[in-house]
Structure 1
Amino acid sequence: MFTMNDLPNSEACERNKGPILEVITPYLSSSDNGEFFEIGSLTCQHSAHFAKAFAQIDFITSEIRDNQNVLKMCLSHYQKKIPNLKGPLVYEAGFNKLEAGKKFYFTANTLHIMPWKAAKTFIKDLATAMDENSTLFIYGPFKYHGNYTSTSNEQFDGFLKERDAQSGIRNFEDICNNFLKKGVFLKEDIAMPANNQLLIFTK
């Protein structure tokens, strides 16, 4: 049996899971049932936190193939007390399809990790999977008109690019325009703590 001390843990997830839940609660509260699909779950901290608050919704976790072992370990811990936490599923942009027709889709801090080519594929996959009843939540840092929203974000972007030249904080306009081409529209852009944003899209 794993304890919390044994599990991989993200301090950033611990800090932001509460503020994110506060913003998405009005959307989830209006749903009597349905499925919430998280892409890039890894430690399960987000979905586990959300699932405890909304027992009527199934929260489905997913990760790329290389991260499945971590996801499975964390999921096995949380599922003992959170029966509506589901998975693990495999999703990797460009390698397999994203499950379609879910009521909610969510991803946090993924777009600046993957190469832009993969990010565009991810956007295409999300647009294809969503229907007129779907809501998409994207959390993370963004640039606006090529400008950073803070010095710390600029420093973080430098760190990302040193580690992988194909990664980096994305332009808000590029994200929205790519979704718009696929028939997915920005509904809200909400400023979050630590110079992050929560973007909400519908079809």
Structure 2
Amino acid sequence: MNKPHSPACERNREPILAVLSKYFGDRRHVLEIGSGTGQHAAHFAAAMPQWIWQSSDRAENLPGIRLWLEEAMLPNTPAPLAFDVGGAWPAERYDAIFSANTLHIMAWAEVEQLFAKLPDITRDDAVLVIYGPFNYQGRYTSDSNAAFDQSLKARGEQMAIRDAEAVDRLAQTAGFQLIDDVAMPANNRCRVWQRRGDR
């Protein structure tokens, strides 16, 4: 099996790392939800050796992730977890959660489930960073995002670029407050929330 490769991961990894370095700077245990190819896990864990970077994805994607991690041979990357929002969740609690390009792939009910269960796996001051395209007030931020949304819906009717305000409501209900919204290349965003200790 050849290592899976995403050109988009190569392009966006440094801008994302800049955001993670700022908001995960004092974090130790990071769970990546939906690690995809494994490229981000290998790159971020190498750049920030103080993080224990726990990758996760559906079982069919784990072999490719393992290839990236085995090649990197890093001490801070445990074996990837089989993880699906509708299945069993990790028993450990993390002080940081990262996910890239996942919300528009999942059905909205799965997005709701993801946020509803975050309090069960996060510490009181956990930081959440989600990368990807978002709509604002129901509007696309670019023609390319509009075209991308149409291509998503052609692949599956459950897929769609999510409205930032709707995601913020889910986060707030789960006890997470939006603390930053960073513009990224190719009309993407890094949205950053922190868990409030009163929940």
TM-score, normalisation: structure 2: 0.92
Which one-letter code corresponds to 2:54 in the other structure? I
2:106 aligned with 1:114: yes
The answer to whether the 8 Å contact 2:24/2:127 transfers is: no
How many angstroms apart in 2 are the aligned matches of 1:98 and 1:126? 11
How many angstroms apart in 2 are the aligned matches of 1:99 and 1:75? 22
Deviations 1:73-99 (A, max 9, x none): 333222x2x221222101101111144
Question: Structure 1 segments of 4 or more deviating over 4 A?
Answer: none
2:192 aligned with 1:200: yes
Q: What is the aligned partner in structure 2 of residue 170 from structure 1?
A: 162
2:151 aligned with 1:155: no
Structure 1: 5+ residue stretches without partners: none
How many angstroms apart in 1 are the aligned matches of 2:103 and 2:63? 22
Which one-letter code corresponds to 1:68 in the other structure? L
Question: Where in structure 2 are the equivalents of 1:39-50 lying within 5 Å?
Answer: 39-50=33-44
Which one-letter code corresponds to 2:143 in the other structure? T
The answer to whether the 8 Å contact 1:98/1:125 transfers is: no
Alignment match of 2:23 (pick from 27, 33, 48): 27
Structure 2: 5+ residue stretches without partners: none
Q: What is the aligned partner in structure 1 of residue 48 from structure 2?
A: 54
How many angstroms apart in 2 are the aligned matches of 1:182 and 1:85? 28
Q: How many Å apart are 1:122 and its aligned residue?
A: 1.0
2:124 aligned with 1:132: yes
The answer to whether the 8 Å contact 2:36/2:57 transfers is: yes
TM-score, normalisation: structure 1: 0.90
- Name the stretch that deviates more: 21-30 or 190-199: 21-30
How many angstroms apart in 2 are the aligned matches of 1:145 and 1:90? 35
CA, structure 1 residues 98+170, in 2 after alignment: closer, same or farther (shift >3 Å)? farther
Question: Where in structure 2 are the equivalents of 1:182-193 lying within 5 Å?
Answer: 182-193=174-185
Task: Please give the secondary structure, in 2, of the residue aligned with 1:131.
Answer: strand
How many angstroms apart in 1 are the aligned matches of 2:159 and 2:94? 28
How many angstroms apart in 1 are the aligned matches of 2:47 and 2:68? 19
The answer to whether the 8 Å contact 2:30/2:51 transfers is: yes
Task: Please give the secondary structure, in 2, of the residue aligned with 1:132.
Answer: strand
Alignment match of 2:58 (pick from 59, 64, 73): 64
2:86 aligned with 1:94: yes
RMSD over aligned Cα atoms = 1.5
The answer to whether the 8 Å contact 2:39/2:65 transfers is: no
**Percent identity over the alignment?**
38
CA, structure 1 residues 28+181, in 2 after alignment: closer, same or farther (shift >3 Å)? closer
The answer to whether the 8 Å contact 1:107/1:138 transfers is: yes
